[in-house]
Amino acid sequence: MSGPTIRRARTADIRGIRRLVAPLAERRVLVAKDAVTYYEGVQEFRVAEDEDGTIVGCGALHVMWEDLAEIRTLAVATDHLGSGLGGQILEGLVDDARELGVQRLFCLTFETHFFTRHGFEPIEGQAVTADVYAELLRSYDEGVAEFLDLERVKPNTLGNTRMLRTL
């Protein structure tokens, strides 16, 4: 038995991604999203698929700026926790970031020990220049608002840690 295969997501994987994410979104560990949002961002995702074709892990890389992207929706099925699968998905996303020319990765997480093991460090304040901050304010994306630490998203991000990794 070889274990799950990590690959780029396809539209047929969205239902499996949503099933995996739903209990985590209910517990407010991950942000709940509408189905259309997953379909619009399918190209950002990598999935882990077991031998039966079940999605047992996922993660997304969302580019925010020229040198900055966010790791989003990183999730692993309960029966695969502690197997290293989350780290494998994350490193696949890091490879994607490098391929795109991204130099810094952001995440907003409760899983600080996991991300610290993978080179992320907590951040305070802004990680971008004032000019870039002003440009990012124009984004409609809630993840960008979380990155900017805007007051309007704080009720939804209580307890999360803003972390950054430089590649």
Q: Which domains can be identified in the chain, with CATH numbers?
A: 5-166 (3.40.630.30)
- For the segment 4-15, the average pLDDT, to the nearest whole number, is 97
Instruction: Give pLDDT tens digits for 54-92.
Output: 999 999 999 988 999 999 999 999 999 999 999 999 999
Three-state secondary structure call for residue 107: strand
Q: 115 vs 21, 59, 78, 105, 129, CA distance in Å?
A: 18, 13, 18, 11, 24
